[in-house]
Chain A
Amino acid sequence: MPTANLKVWRGDDSGDYQNYQVEYGHGEVVLDVIHKLQATQAGDLAVRWNCKAGKCGSCSAEINGHPRLQCMTRMEIFEEGEEIVIAPLKTYKLIRDLVTDVSVNFEKAKTIPFVDLEKPAPGDVRRMAQMDIDRVQEFHKCIECFICMDVCHVIRDHPDNMDKFVGPRYFVQLAMVAMHPLDQHPKREMVAYGFGLEYCNITKCCTEVCPEGIHITDNAIIPLKERRVDELYDPLRMIGRALFGKK
């Protein structure tokens, strides 16, 4: 069996990388190697994981500098003997080892409106065409791994923006509500200031790293930005508003 040459972050902010050697077999992923390390050499190594199948988004880490799910990163992508650096997500406050404090996301979740759907016709159920929900279903694929948030320079490089900018994951959630074919929220409400849409300068880093392949920038953020322009900056509407008061 080949041996992995690991460099794993241990401890909190004052911690450091530690080197470990762990054997691995065919088809194993980084999370398997971390579990072996835990069971044999480092019983208290802190790591989050649940499904080990890329469906729950718990085991995000920065592997050789790239944010990825440990459970979906096969050891075969590395050269034998190559040093593999496994670090916690940088954007969030470190708790210990590979575990960070992502609780800020749950505060952000509260700020996104909850759907408010039209009632079905009397005696009928709600009807929606598959074609109309295809694009919205894409947003429902999000597994909340927060990797998009980790790479977003708006918050990664400027932590002060954290409370002004909901971030890519929550733009996806905003889009999910705003583009639901039966949602009744006024469009202006969904693109208002407060979510921090204006901070995003569409560098598409989030889209590039999304393990679910959600087109975060093209399908969620840009359409929301376009709606904002339509709703708030349409010259005819601006004139209308100026003449007839606030609308």
Chain B
Amino acid sequence: MPEYETHEYDVLVIGAGGAGLRAAVEASSMGARTAVITKSLLGKAHTVMAEGGMAAAMGNVWPQDNWQVHFRDTMRGGKMLNNWRMAQIHAQEAPDRVYELEEWGALFDRTPDGRILQRDFGGHRYARLAHVGDRTGLEMIRILQQRGVHQGLDVFAECTINRLFKDSQGRIAGAIGYRRETGELLLFKAKAVVLATGGAGRIWEITSNSWEGTADGHALALYAGADMIDMECIQFHPTGMVWPLSVKGLLVTEGVRGDGGTLKNIDGKRFMFDYIPAMFAAETADNEPEADRWYNDKTVRRTPDLLPRDEVARAINSEVKAGRGTEHGGVFLDIASRRSPEYIRSRLPSMYHQFMQLAGVDITKEAFEVGPTMHYIMGGVRVEAEKQGTAVPGLYAAGEVSGGMHGGNRLGGNSLSDLVVFGRRAGMGAAEYALGLTSAPALDQADVDERAALMMKPLEGDGRENPYAIHTALRTLMQNKVGIIRTESELQEALVEIASLKERLTRVKAGGDTKYNPGWHLALDLEHMITVAEVVTRAAIERKESRGGHTRDDYPNPSPEFGKVNIVDRLGPNGVEVRQEPLPQMPPELAELFADGGDDAHG
């Protein structure tokens, strides 16, 4: 029988990005015995890559801003698929969370009168993003990390969770994982689990996500019996680096456009004026002088360079397809001809650094190539809006792994605020639940031992499949057939290929032993990635329309019927089950905010 390093907690938080750390800080401050599990070292989570800022209607730059405007922008950006209540809570609470980070030591850039400065971003009507240059995520993670350390959180660094367990009544009872450094098995007995595992970018070839984005939390929730929603909605960020190959997909912050940068095709044309959708026509400038005035004068219409990300990504895709792209298959982003070198270096220091060091390009002197990169999954674990609980008692989810908040498309800047608004609420929900239980749910030892044996399988046996090769095949497949533009026939082909990858995975073999062995770790992560890839593909087949981060070549327009439903998925006894469920309806006082239209998506 395998040996386990065993621990008991009230609340187990899986993931130590912004959402996980904020959840853990909250749960522990409520008196729950709390542990945080992180696949990397503490402070390295993908949150550090968030650049532009944290959206919160504080009204420091434009006093006209308030939560209603932010709520409306978020819903319209999400093509009205969002869970309205989450979008409302988010807009209402984001300012408090910004000030809380400041209280804990964050140093946001300032306005001339000493308050927190806010910057323009796509889809936000007013300059709304609190920021620290272009490294806001790093600031958030460091501050939350220091807060957690001083609060005495137990942190399990470089540990990966492989499965959750439930008791005989279907309640969360614990989790199994391993220490990456040694390969030792870890068994957690826990009353509640908060999933805060982030995204799924590593399923695609071109992505801004780090190795950690392997859809672990989505898979853990599916295996535990929770529902997913909107899994077909994938955000391809319009501006990833495209050259050199080594950095293909690496994020270029939307702040470049927020601070005055503009997109141009190979002919030097500012092509975004040709791609203004009807939904945003009333508020988007259709000529260059007006667009350029907008940065300093919010009474005129905004520049189309800052349309929501799904619109900009599709536009770039179309320009490249029409043969107006750059040598390496992107378009140009030009801030050099529009702002002074000093301004660019002070506003975008890490972008300057990143291009100088990795591409040998001086962004203060020349335009640079950009193209879409898989950046974010809007879909995720279905949660209730108040405390982020799922269909499984004791299971909570916050941040990118949860679904609903961003609907069909997430606005830039709404992620960092999402992390702390709902991280806090999930931590609260999990702690209340765990502290309210009179006894700890019991683990079934047979389940645990069975799973432990399966985890060792890639190291044993005589399989010949290389985990890295299977991973590459999966990424290529998803990039080509479940990418920015989709069609029924390719999605069906993808399902067949996913089934064959699943079969290959049964013969996977990782060389070496259990001590810090990335091949073995990848072999285990692959099961999660392949499961979630199938869910995304099936959901993409089900939604026969184009909306937000889901574009179908065979159904190029939004459909009013599909605009009224979520695509909900779960794992049943016979595999993935997909169904449609009506969207939750917002109360009349909120619906009024959309009286001038909003639910016609991008048609």
Binding site for B on A (CB under 8 A): 25-29, 32, 38-40, 43-58, 72, 74, 95-97, 99, 101-103, 106, 109-110, 112, 114-115, 117, 125-130, 133, 136-137, 140-144, 173, 176-177, 180
Contacts and interface: CB of A to CB of B under 8 A. Distances in A.
Contacts of B468: 38-40, 43
Nearest to A76: B360
Interface size class of B (residues with CB under 8 A): 35 or more
B115 A127 contact: yes
B18 interface: no
17 contacts: A27-B360, A44-B519, A46-B516, A50-B45, A50-B210, A51-B48, A53-B250, A96-B516, A102-B41, A109-B146, A110-B150, A114-B105, A127-B115, A130-B109, A130-B110, A176-B105, A180-B107
A53 B210 CA distance: 10
A104 to B, nearest CB: 12
B44 A57 contact: yes
A157 B114 CA distance: 45
Nearest to A115: B105
Q: Which of B45, B114, B246, B517 has the most CB of A within 10 A?
A: B246
B239 to A, nearest CB: 14
B358 A58 contact: no
Given A44-B510, A53-B250, A141-B135, 20 more contacts: A28-B245, A32-B246, A38-B519, A43-B511, A44-B512, A46-B516, A46-B517, A49-B211, A50-B40, A54-B357, A54-B358, A56-B48, A96-B516, A97-B516, A99-B181, A109-B149, A117-B105, A125-B115, A127-B113, A143-B138
Interface string B351-373: 00110011110000000000000
B155 interface: yes
Contacts of A56: 40, 44, 48-49, 210
Given A72-B357, A125-B115, A44 B520 contact: yes
A55 B466 contact: no
Nearest to B509: A43
A152 to B, nearest CB: 19
Interface stretch (B96-104, B120-128, B164-172, B549-557): B96-104
B149 A180 contact: no
A52 B212 CA distance: 12
B393 interface: no
B353 A54 contact: yes
Interface of B: 40-46, 48-49, 99, 102-105, 107, 109-110, 113-116, 132-133, 135, 138-139, 142, 146-147, 149-150, 155, 157, 181, 210-212, 243-247, 250-251, 350, 353-354, 357-360, 466-469, 472, 510-513, 515-520
Nearest to B467: A43
Given A49-B211, A144-B43, A27 B107 contact: no
A101 B181 CA distance: 9
Q: Which of A56, A74, A109 has the most CB of B within 10 A?
A: A56
B518 A96 contact: no
A54 B46 contact: no
Contacts of A29: 246, 358
A55 B510 contact: no
B518 A44 contact: yes
Contacts of A32: 246
A52 B139 contact: no
B243 A27 contact: yes
A140 B132 CA distance: 9
B262 to A, nearest CB: 24
